Amino acid sequence: MNRSPLLTLIAVIFAATAPIRILATEEKTPFHFAHRGGAHEFEENTLFAFKSCYDKGIRGYELDVRMTKDGELVVLHDDSLDRTHHGIGPVEHLTAEEARKINSRVQNEPLLFLDTLLDYLKNKPEMYVEFEMKTSNKELYPDSRIEEYATQLHRKVTAHVPVGSTYLFTSFDRRPLVAVKKVDPTADIMLIKGGPLTPELMEAAKAIGSKRIAAKMEGTTRLAVKEAQKQGFIVTGWPGHNLNDYFLGLGLGVDAICSDVPVLVQEYIERKK
């Protein structure tokens, strides 16, 4: 049967766009979560930031954990209080009582203690939370202190994990990851690298029993991500400073993106629906 020119044109357009439709349906949306509670949208690592993210529909956090001189755990990124808080020097040099007098620079929020955040999370199911162990500075965390730190953190984090939630321990430093695994061989851990995803990172993760890896997205290739996933790894990409970083992670095919702008990403995803 002869087709009209119009039908022929429609058939050509359909054939040309079919692959696009197939790709769109197969596109995997990576899980995105709030780096330091959304560091470019709220005051980082404060209870206000974590609460604000939750209220905006974000169901994943990354946060940094340090230990005071007398063994209390606090949420703080830097080796020093100077940048983010009205304080000087390492929190590791303060007692818990001294640390409780320290407030944040922007909103004058109290320095966040881990117990406070865990109490906030205890009735919130289906959360994803990364507890990054900030122990790379060996002057602040010599080998002799790693076991105490890891044991204390594991005990507090696992005391109450809400239903359907994933709580995991992450670090650039292999020492606390190994220590957590000694305490609990079933613990979910993730090795982070300050560079692109490489075979060496995969081998290092395997050596400590980590099924998760995190790498910088810049310099990482889609092929490397696919190979890691083929080997059974869950791959997280970072940093996520803006929407372009989210798009980069989308193109790389990572499983998750650690984002400083989680609300912006969430709003973009919602607009697409």
Mean pLDDT of 245-255: 97
CATH of domain 28-272: 3.20.20.190
How much is the pLDDT for 4? 54
Instruction: List C-alpha distances in Å: 62 to 49, 130, 214, 250, 270.
Output: 11, 5, 12, 19, 22
Check whether 16 has a pLDDT greater than 80: no
**Which pTM does this prediction carry?**
0.89
Contact 262, 243 (CB under 8 A): no
Mean pLDDT of 20-44: 79
**Percentage of residues in the chain with pLDDT exceeding 90?**
89
Check whether 93 has a pLDDT greater than 50: yes
56-69 tens-digit pLDDT: 999 999 999 999 99
Domain residues of the chain, as ranges?
28-272
Cα–Cα nearest to 115, from 138, 93, 96: 96
How much is the pLDDT for 272? 83
Look at residue 66 and give its three-state secondary structure: strand
CA 38 to chain centre: 10
Mean pLDDT of 177-191: 98
Alpha carbon distance 212, 228 (integer Å): 10
